[in-house]
Amino acid sequence: MSPVAERVLAVLRDSVSPINAAAVFRRAISVSRLDEDTLEPSELPRLLPALETSLSVFVAPASAKAIVDRLRDGPRSQPRAGTTLPLETDEDLGRARMLARSMAAEESASSYVAQKIATVVSELGRNVLRYAQRGTIEMRVLETPRVVRIVVIDGGPGIPNLPEILAGRHRSKTGMGRGLLGTERLAQRFEIETGASGTRVLAEVAL
């Protein structure tokens, strides 16, 4: 199999099972009369329409299109730039949630994964507004492992009782007291740095 063919298959496997990825790929190759052993980048424009059609059997048409667009964009030698948004008002938090949703859709994330990402953004963003008044939120997609990385930074008072909170021994005055713990559970990597000059939370959710 040629390197381009390998990459097409790898992208398909991100979205459907390996067996279905192979089926989709073979069908598209045969319909477009190409050869997986000699497939070249210049032949992708011939393959992609067939790929989108056969993918639509397994995923929603919008997802099929997003997956094929990823292939059309070419391999990502550079990680894509993240987007940083200010967090100061409820509207800012709404925008951050919308960005999270659209990022998840662009990555053809399942609705379950999209919900996880939106929840993490909501919980961390809400904490900034409530306890630190203002901060920033950055979201970016990383490829290996494929995750959405969310970094929330504020210059607030810090979280003095963090160990207690992470051990589940904290009772919140204002909320359920489950925002950080819930986020930790949804994330495959979770880090908090906090001190008198502010808090930085990093959470990575698998795509």
Ligand X SMILES: Nc1ncnc2c1ncn2[C@@H]1O[C@H](COP(=O)(O)OP(=O)(O)OP(=O)(O)O)[C@@H](O)[C@H]1O
Q: Which of residues 186-205 bind ligand X (CB under 6 A)?
A: 199
Residue reference for tokens 């298959």: 9
Residue 127 is a binding residue for Mg ion (CB under 5 A) = yes
Distance of alpha carbon 44 from alpha carbon 37, whole angstroms: 14
DSSP-derived secondary structure for 25-44 = HHHHHHHTT--TTT--GGGH
Q: Of all helices (H) and strands (E), which one includes residue 154?
A: strand 147-154
Which residue from 88, 178, 184, 206 is in contact with ligand X, where contact means CB under 6 A?
178
Residue 165 is a binding residue for ligand X (CB under 6 A) = yes
- For residues 107 and 179, which CB has a smaller minimum distance to ligand X in the complex? 179
Which residue from 1, 175, 185, 188 is in contact with ligand X, where contact means CB under 6 A?
175
SS3 170: coil
Which residue from 125, 135, 156, 179 is in contact with Mg ion, where contact means CB under 5 A?
179
Beta bridge partners of 139: 83, 150
Residue 177 binding: pick among ligand X, Mg ion, none (C-beta 5-8 Å cut-off by kind):
ligand X
Residue 82 is a binding residue for ligand X (CB under 6 A) = no
- For residues 83 and 197, which CB has a smaller minimum distance to ligand X in the complex? 197
Residues lying near Mg ion in the complex (CB under 5 A) are found at 127, 179
